[in-house]
Structure 1
């Protein structure tokens, strides 16, 4: 894991954006798995600005949604779908045929996960996975547990995840999510882990120790050969 520290959020976001651009220049039909939340927003804003000057760079880019809250309509501001449409898909003009994402409120969540898993397998490996770090060490909705799931699955959400900024103000919070599994994530050719925000001091300290445990899913990233862990020095 390549740990890098930055003075502020803008510098971290710009660095992550330059990594994405370098990968796009190397492979124009890049497949990016995209997280949502505060941590990657600055990176997506950086890419949106780059699109205005060099739209040709993004003409074959494919986006894969990392996860989704269960039960929210896609028009709900707290849904991952709404977030990605606003911050990434619309600014980069990504059409539906270059986007893979969970339906936000499927009749059968398990069947929806199987559909996404099959599509990922058919389309090929993810080139670059952009992740944030949960306060309890989760990545995607791969929550701390006695065991972890390898592929797309329905995840029961922890209390920590239900306090996430995207849904914390809802009267009835989602009890489950749909997410790529650990093997899906670790099969990506390159990973960017963005660590930003308050309340993550303890999990950052644990991650630094390199002790791999299902109780802190992000520690499994130590098994990957190409992870850029970008952190703001103090948040």
Structure 2
């Protein structure tokens, strides 16, 4: 586990983009696992600028997004398909057919989930997976549960998640109650996991990564078992984490 502490969101975003660009430049045909939400937006802006400056080339990259709301069409302004094209894909030289986002409107959602799982495997798995974390510890839309769900699946969203996402909709009642999400299996099989945290209110969930206990009620806790985990965290959140242990590599940046 490597922890990088940055002084500002801009520094955090820049470092995340540099790590992503390093992966792509090392392996131009990289398979990227991407995330939505407010946290990675700064990273995407940095990657767009790097692409325009010729510092990173997306032309051979394949992407897989973690999740999508059930019931929202790709052109809905709160769908994650729309989010990705608005915040990254439309602004870089990526091939549309190499971008993959699970469908939330498929007629047969279980079949869609199985197909998505198989496609990730067919592409050789994910080289680097971007993650955020929910206040309740969810990663992707893997919500707190009595057990971990390994494969891509349809999930009933927790009330806390619905409440947190209500700010993006005109009314809370418009927030979808279900989502399709990549399971814990594909996330843990990624060769590198990059967890980005820029909100001290999520510190309690992130602390579980240092507890030595893996608990499906706090899904993010499983990442402590990943052999190549990097955590990018802002200084305010880092101050609430136990980062003085010898087993951690802590890097101060910005």
TM-score (norm 1): 0.94
In structure 1, distance between residues paired with 2:221 and 2:169: 26
- How far off is 1:198 after superposition? 5.1
Per the alignment, residue 128 of structure 1 pairs with 128
In structure 2, distance between residues paired with 1:61 and 1:69: 24
DSSP-derived class of the 2:236 partner: coil
Count residues with an aligned counterpart. Answer: 235
Q: 2:188 aligns with which of 186, 189, 199?
A: 186
In structure 2, distance between residues paired with 1:80 and 1:198: 25
Per the alignment, residue 53 of structure 2 pairs with 53
In structure 1, distance between residues paired with 2:163 and 2:170: 8
* Higher deviation after alignment, 174-183 or 49-58: 49-58
Contact 2:8 2:235 in 1 (8 A): yes
- How far off is 1:55 after superposition? 6.8
Contact 2:197 2:232 in 1 (8 A): yes
Extract unaligned runs of 5+ from structure 2. 238-254
Q: RMSD of aligned C-alpha atoms?
A: 1.6
In structure 1, distance between residues paired with 2:198 and 2:105: 29
- How far off is 1:167 after superposition? 4.4
* Higher deviation after alignment, 127-136 or 51-60: 51-60
- How far off is 1:213 after superposition? 0.7
- How far off is 1:231 after superposition? 0.5
- How far off is 1:91 after superposition? 1.3
DSSP-derived class of the 1:45 partner: helix
- How far off is 1:201 after superposition? 3.0
DSSP-derived class of the 2:88 partner: helix
In structure 2, distance between residues paired with 1:206 and 1:118: 31
Per the alignment, residue 93 of structure 1 pairs with 93
Q: 1:219 aligns with which of 207, 221, 226?
A: 221
Per the alignment, residue 229 of structure 1 pairs with 231
1:188-229 deviation digits (Å, cap 9, x = unpaired): 110100011253132133333232111111111111111110
In structure 1, distance between residues paired with 2:211 and 2:37: 25
